Structure 1
Amino acid sequence: MKKKLCFLMVFVLLLSLLSGCGANKSSQTTKSSASEPQKVVITDVIGRQVEVPIPAKKIVSVNESATRLISYLDGLDKVVGIETLSKFSDAYKPYLLAHPELKNLPQLGKYNSLNAEEIIKLKPDVIFYVHYGDMDPDKLQAQTHIPVVALKYGDKCAFTEDVYKSLQIIGRIIDKEKRTQEVVSYLKRCEQDLSSRTNKISDNKKPKVYISGIGFYGVHGIESTQGKYRPLNLINAKNVADETGKTGSIIIDKEKLLNWDPDIIFIDEFGLSLVKDDYKKNPQFYQSIKAVKEGQIYTQLPYVCYDVNIENAIADAYWNGKVIFPEQFKDINPEQKADDIYKFLLGKPLYKDMVNSISGFKKLNLGS
């Protein structure tokens, strides 16, 4: 009798264990099923309603501007194809310097002349692009039968709500919402820190500053600047180009510089070689400007190369602050700050790699 009772107990125990294993298997299947993409309608940054699978497992980025934003969200492992890369040095595009493996992906043409057949072969779930006037997302969507989602950096400058909205759209679609929140919060904290250091300085105590060499549909020299230039705005600096009343890129008459006579000039690395060449041709002109006469010329990291390098823009703002307002930025080591920014947004320190090819943060003697 005891033997029969023991046998029954063992039998019941085995049934219980088998039942438990079955329950776990069912739970895993349900979880796996729940992770399958679901069709969701999202509104992109130009107001289009686009039905996309969430989470997207394979994506195509058809301009470098979009690839940069995806890189901030640690989403490059999902990218299966990109725009044909420009010829500019990787040092002008930190996202590419941090992720050279992108060069091994299929390159699908330029954003306004894409190879739709090659995109179709890659079978992406979603196509991302940063919107410009000559790009028709509905046409590309009709050609490929793949959802096309528009992103933006803002019409005139970086750090706008368009950037934050674009990051949030990408994050939702590729299941990186936590990372998106971290990135947006980080950018806003940088804005707050930069502004709070200088927002109590009266205008009459601020030197006049000119930013030059900014990229604008190509490379330009001393005459290329920006009104309401975002890094200078963030530190409440006195940008002489704001006198024009314009926002964004401006090509000025060089003679205007003589009227403005800035105390400090920053030269963006993108146009530095052109400024140097121009100086050699006409040193007398430059020597008539206060900043040149007093040796207040500084280089900085490339701000624009296929839209704004947001990581460089923040680093430049801290560097600009260090030069213009040394007391308020005395705790900042610009090189280390740049690396902190690179590590957070792109996953690795890059400053030394950058200055292997470009000047970085330096005081410059144009005549040398």
Structure 2
Amino acid sequence: MERRTIALVIVLVVTVVLLGVVAVMVFRAPGSQETKPQAPRVITVVDFSNRTVEVPVNASRVVAIGPGVLRLVAYLGALDKIVGVEDAEKSWSPLGRDYAMAYGDVFKNLQVIGPGGPRNPPNPELLRSVKPDIVLMSRVYVDVYDPDRLSQEVGAPVVVIDYGVAGYLNVTEFKRAITLLGRILGREARAQELAKYIDGVVDDLAQRVRVAKVAPSVYVGAVSYKGAQPFTGTQGMFPPLQLLKTRSIVDELGKKGFVNVDFEYILKKNPEYIFIDLNNLQTVLDDYKKDSAKYCALGAFKEGRVYALLPFNYYHTNVATALVDAYFMGKVLYPEQFKDVDPAKKADEIYRVFLGKPLYEEFVRGFGRGFGPLSDLFKC
């Protein structure tokens, strides 16, 4: 009896084991193998604050905060990933911010994630509410909010982005920024396309002026910078002129950045050509009406060589517009070398490459005029 009992137990055990094997075979697909759950795929990047950050691949929920960052996302054609925008993008006039002129309607339907502006700190609570996969943060904000702290508070990696000093065009830094963002946002081919295009533009401008025999004397007045600026508000190393290898009369002062010069200095230098930023044209007109004599003492005003420029410094450098201005200035200063260039058509070519839309006529409608002489307003 004991032997029979033992035999029955063995049979039962074998049967249970076999049934378990069959069950596993039934519930597993033929040919499948047991695999461990895969961790989300990430890539490691080094940002513009020299921080090493892990970011998810194929992130679909992205926010961009601080001056210039959303512009770069727009240039890369990745606005479909943006899930919230700063209040500044909704409340400020888009005129002069190329990406906002092109896609401001898109921003209207997105949730507000903070105040925006160069000096306002990010809002972790509002950022967290849109559940971003990645926060792209302007390096300007590093001075007012620690990115590692923000990452912990929002629960998402924060990548610091920059493309040079606001109001200037650093092509090397711009290409570095879009290359990094292209990798993060899955737009690497687009980043390469933009880098190649801007290299072509820079080379084209340099080649044209290389054969010019004489560099003209130039002054750029009322340059956009932190609100309304007078005629005497200018900029050393003005970016479009730098692209044309041409100096402004203020460059000899050795100051890079936004500076105010005495009117007497402009009178002394008496530049052949003067350009005025359309963003501050009314400020200049108001001053002209008060004392037209001092303006008419300048040869450029007397002889009709005063021209309008599109503003390109608005919530960081509008790269496309800076390139557009360079072609117009080249057309005025070096007519023989730029005789094949139609500034309006060239502008829309550049805007189409960067933003997929022509924008020149929007500038004209917004400011009431575009590129061209201002002799109808300043009569001497």
Partner of 2:18: none
1:56 aligns with 2:64: no
Query: Is the alpha carbon distance of 1:260 and 1:129 closer, same or farther for their aligned partners in structure 2, counting shifts above 3 Å?
Result: farther
1:257-314 deviations in Å (ceiling 9; x for gaps): 1122111111112221211111111211111112111111100111211111111111
Decide whether the 8 Å contact of 1:214 with 1:303 is kept in 2: no
Q: TM-score, normalised by structure 1?
A: 0.86
1:75 aligns with 2:78: yes
Q: Which runs of no fewer than 5 residues in structure 1 stay unpaired?
A: 1-21
SS in 1 for 2:132: coil
1:94 aligns with 2:104: no
SS in 1 for 2:226: coil
Where does 1:1-368 land on structure 2 (aligned, <5 Å)?
38-85=41-88, 87-99=91-103, 100-111=105-116, 112-132=120-140, 134-136=143-145, 137-155=147-165, 157-202=168-213, 205-358=214-367, 359-365=369-375, 366-367=377-378
Post-superposition offset of 1:135: 3.4
Partner of 2:20: none
| Structure 1: distance between partners of 2:360 and 2:301 | 27
Decide whether the 8 Å contact of 2:363 with 2:370 is kept in 1: yes
| Structure 2: distance between partners of 1:277 and 1:37 | 60
One-letter identity of the residue aligned with 1:101 = V
SS in 1 for 2:95: helix
Decide whether the 8 Å contact of 1:240 with 1:260 is kept in 2: yes
One-letter identity of the residue aligned with 2:255 = K
| Structure 2: distance between partners of 1:232 and 1:169 | 28
| Structure 1: distance between partners of 2:262 and 2:163 | 28
Decide whether the 8 Å contact of 1:59 with 1:80 is kept in 2: yes
1:1-36 deviations in Å (ceiling 9; x for gaps): xxxxxxxxxxxxxxxxxxxxx99xx9xxx9xx99x9
Partner of 1:19: none
| Structure 2: distance between partners of 1:46 and 1:259 | 44
| Structure 1: distance between partners of 2:71 and 2:333 | 29
Worse overlay, 72-81 or 243-252: 243-252
SS in 2 for 1:360: coil
| Structure 1: distance between partners of 2:274 and 2:114 | 38
Query: Is the alpha carbon distance of 1:254 and 1:139 closer, same or farther for their aligned partners in structure 2, counting shifts above 3 Å?
Result: farther
Query: What do you get for the CA RMSD once the two structures are aligned?
Result: 2.3
Post-superposition offset of 1:143: 2.2
Q: TM-score, normalised by structure 2?
A: 0.83
One-letter identity of the residue aligned with 1:339 = D
1:168-213 deviations in Å (ceiling 9; x for gaps): 11110110000000011111110000111002334xx221011122
| Structure 2: distance between partners of 1:107 and 1:85 | 9
Post-superposition offset of 1:85: 1.8
| Structure 2: distance between partners of 1:270 and 1:286 | 19
| Structure 1: distance between partners of 2:322 and 2:184 | 26
Decide whether the 8 Å contact of 2:212 with 2:337 is kept in 1: no
| Structure 2: distance between partners of 1:148 and 1:37 | 17
Post-superposition offset of 1:37: 5.2
Partner of 2:5: none
